[in-house]
């Protein structure tokens, strides 16, 4: 008897760039990577039961049920009343809007509580041992993209004189679709941006006037990125794909002057971005 190999039907897209990019990007919308895997699996297949999802994604069954429950509570997965229960993902574009609206609702709730919390805090008695706040040579460590973008937004909105930014294309792209970029477009202070390019063709930043943006070529450090505003400096220590972002803020006079001197030296020898 002649044996033939059965045709294998792939139920999930193989590991590739779009899939990996989605898995790493969806957590920014409030779901974990495993939740993203379950959602993407359901979004590319017909309705599936929890055991089928568990088997195909190689996730323990107990964890699979938990992941599905969370996705249902977020409003992006639905189920039927049959037996076994099967689950299906809402269309991707609709799911993204739902996740964004979930974030907005949460922010609205927090804003409503803000004044109440401040009032409660003001009713607390002062400590007899309260010391004066540190006023110079301060620093602050920040971890995670949300915390870092939040700090950058505050720095830009509170600037009174100038903003100087030096960074690689790689790091600029990671901030591109955040409120930080929107704020930079509307600042009324002196703004200068230096883009470190490691390629012959540079990334285009059409949002900023060409006279405010310069390109310089250097292949030594693709993760270089810092911002100077008035008497403060903020720079990224780590921004690798596999690690959470890490940054530091300081108002150290020595650090500020050193970074500003470096920026001005590179600005003088760099080329303006040509207008399109």
| Residue 81 pLDDT | 84
Evaluate whether 22 touches 36 at the Cβ level (below 8 Å).
yes
The mean per-residue pLDDT over the stretch 244-249 comes to 87
C-alpha to C-alpha distance for 79 and 94, rounded to whole angstroms: 17
In this predicted structure, what is the pLDDT of residue 7? Answer: 34
Q: Looking at residue 207, what is its pLDDT?
A: 63
Q: Give 79's DSSP letter.
A: E
User: Nearest CA to 193 among 238, 142, 229?
Assistant: 229
Please name the residue ranges forming H helices in the chain. 17-25, 33-43, 50-57, 61-73, 92-122, 145-157, 169-175, 179-186, 253-269
User: What confidence tens digit (pLDDT) does each residue in 143-161 have?
Assistant: 888 888 889 989 998 999 9
Angle at 232 between CA 231 and CA 238, to 5 degrees: 160
CA angle 57, 59, 62 (to 5 degrees): 135
Instruction: State the pLDDT at residue 197.
Output: 76
Instruction: Name, in order, each residue with C-beta under 8 angstroms of 263's C-beta and a sequence gap of 6 or more.
Output: 164, 166, 192, 194, 228
Question: Could you give the CA distance from residue 133 to residue 187 in angstroms, rounded to a whole number?
Answer: 30
| Backbone torsion region of residue 133, taken as left when φ is above 0, otherwise alpha when ψ lies between -120 and 50, otherwise beta | beta
> How far apart, in Å, are the Cα atoms of 90 and each of 56, 83, 107, 117, 259?
20, 21, 24, 37, 49
Environment class of 44 (CB within 10 Å of its CB; exposed 0-12, middle 13-18, buried 19+):
middle
Is residue 144 within 8 Å of residue 178, measured between CB atoms? no
Q: How many CA atoms within 13 Å lie on the side-chain side of 49?
A: 8
Query: Does pLDDT of 19 surpass 60?
Result: yes
What is the rounded CA–CA span in Å between residue 30 and residue 36? Answer: 10
Domain boundaries, the chain: 17-92, 139-272
Per CATH, is 139-272 categorized as 3.30.870.10? yes
Q: Considering the entire predicted model, what is its pTM?
A: 0.59
Strand partners, 215: 195, 271
Q: Report residue 14 CA to chain centroid gap.
A: 25
In tens, the pLDDT along 102-127 reads 888 888 888 888 888 888 888 888 76
CATH among 1.10.10.10, 1.10.760.10, 1.10.3720.10, 3.50.50.60 for 17-92? 1.10.10.10
Q: What is the pLDDT of residues 71-99, one digit of tens each?
A: 999 999 999 888 889 999 999 999 999 99
Distance from C-alpha of 270 to C-alpha of 266, rounded to nearest angstrom: 6
Give the pLDDT confidence of 209-228 residue by residue, as tens digits: 667 888 887 655 667 889 99
């Amino acid at each position: 008897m002649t044996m033939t190999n059965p045709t294998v039907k792939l139920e999930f897209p193989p590991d590739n760039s779009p899939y990996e990019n989605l898995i790493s990007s969806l957590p920014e919308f409030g779901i974990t990577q495993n939740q993203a895997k379950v959602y993407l699996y359901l979004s590319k297949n017909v309705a599936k039961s929890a055991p089928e999802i568990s088997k195909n994604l190689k996730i323990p069954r107990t964890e699979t049920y938990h992941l599905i429950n969370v996705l249902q509570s977020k409003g992006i997965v639905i189920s039927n009343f049959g037996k076994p229960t099967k689950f299906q993902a809402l269309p991707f574009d609709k799911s993204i809007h739902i996740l964004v609206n979930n974030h907005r609702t949460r922010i609205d709730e927090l804003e409503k509580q803000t004044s109440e919390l401040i009032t409660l805090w003001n009713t607390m008695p002062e400590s007899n041992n309260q010391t004066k706040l540190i006023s110079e040579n301060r620093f602050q460590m920040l971890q995670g993209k949300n915390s870092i973008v939040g700090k950058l937004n505050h720095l830009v909105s509170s600037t009174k004189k100038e903003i100087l930014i030096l960074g690689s294309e790689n790091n600029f792209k990671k901030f591109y679709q955040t409120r930080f970029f929107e704020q930079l477009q509307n600042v009324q202070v002196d703004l200068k941006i230096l883009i470190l390019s490691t390629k012959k063709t540079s990334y285009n930043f059409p949002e900023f006037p060409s006279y405010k943006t310069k390109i310089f070529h250097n292949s030594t450090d693709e993760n270089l990125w810092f911002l100077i505003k008035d008497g403060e400096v903020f720079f990224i220590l780590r921004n690798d794909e596999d690690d959470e972002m890490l940054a530091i803020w300081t108002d150290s006079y020595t650090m500020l002057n050193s970074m500003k001197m470096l920026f001005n030296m590179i600005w003088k020898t760099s080329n303006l971005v040509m207008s399109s």
